């Protein structure tokens, strides 16, 4: 029962990385994420999802973030032609690496929407990642892996 109470009280720390071509950086994204209950989220816009590096995502998790959600353009809508496809390959590779080190791949996800991304979409995707991560429990790398 103790472990169950700990899991319910767990509020994941989520980082959302999104392509600047999907949505313009807007203060409303930050305030919308701050108003959500049950998890904390930070967001960062990149000029193209292809700029997201495996090492950067893994570093976020190493620093104790509980989950990362990458939001990229849909196939055929990427202004860099293959940027979102490249991002998806990198996320899948990072998920494989996470599995190899026994850190659940569900801590990392990618979404490729067919239409323009709204603030509500970002909040919804962050919530989905938080729900997936909540089931896993806190990232064991929090506080440098010290208990």
Q: Could you give the CA distance from residue 89 to residue 37 in angstroms, rounded to a whole number?
A: 32
Q: What is the pLDDT of residue 3?
A: 45
pLDDT, tens digit, for every residue of 20-35? 777 755 668 877 888 8
Residue ranges of the alpha helices (H) in the chain?
2-9, 27-35, 54-62, 83-100, 119-134
pLDDT, tens digit, for every residue of 41-74? 998 888 888 888 999 999 999 999 999 999 988 7
Q: CA 65 from chain center: how many Å? A: 9
State the average pLDDT over residues 114-120.
75
Superfamily classification of domain 7-137: Response regulator (3.40.50.2300)
In the chain, the percentage of residues whose pLDDT exceeds 90 is: 44
Q: Could you give the CA distance from residue 23 to residue 35 in angstroms, rounded to a whole number?
A: 19
Q: Could you give the CA distance from residue 41 to residue 89 in angstroms, rounded to a whole number?
A: 24
**For residue 117, what pLDDT band results from cuts at 50, 70 and 90?**
confident
Q: What is the pLDDT of residue 45?
A: 85
**For residue 4, what pLDDT band results from cuts at 50, 70 and 90?**
very low
Task: Name the CA radius of gyration of the chain, rounded.
Answer: 15
Q: Could you give the CA distance from residue 116 to residue 123 in angstroms, rounded to a whole number?
A: 14
> What are the sequence ranges of the domains in the chain?
7-137
Give SS3 for 52: coil
pLDDT, tens digit, for every residue of 76-101? 666 666 778 888 999 999 999 999 99
């Amino acid at each position: 029962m103790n472990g169950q109470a700990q899991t319910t009280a767990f509020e994941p720390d989520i980082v959302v990385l999104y392509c600047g071509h999907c949505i313009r950086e807007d203060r409303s994204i930050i305030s919308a994420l701050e108003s959500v209950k049950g998890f904390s989220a930070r967001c960062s816009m990149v000029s193209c999802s292809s700029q997201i590096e495996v090492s950067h995502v893994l570093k976020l998790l190493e620093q104790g973030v509980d989950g990362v959600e990458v939001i990229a353009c849909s196939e055929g809508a990427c202004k860099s032609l293959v940027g979102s496809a490249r991002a998806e390959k990198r996320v899948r590779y990072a998920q494989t690496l996470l599995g190899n080190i026994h850190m659940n791949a569900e801590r990392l996800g990618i979404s490729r929407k067919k239409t323009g991304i709204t603030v509500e979409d970002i909040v919804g995707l962050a919530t989905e990642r938080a729900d997936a991560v909540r089931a896993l429990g806190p990232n064991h790398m929090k506080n440098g892996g010290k208990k």
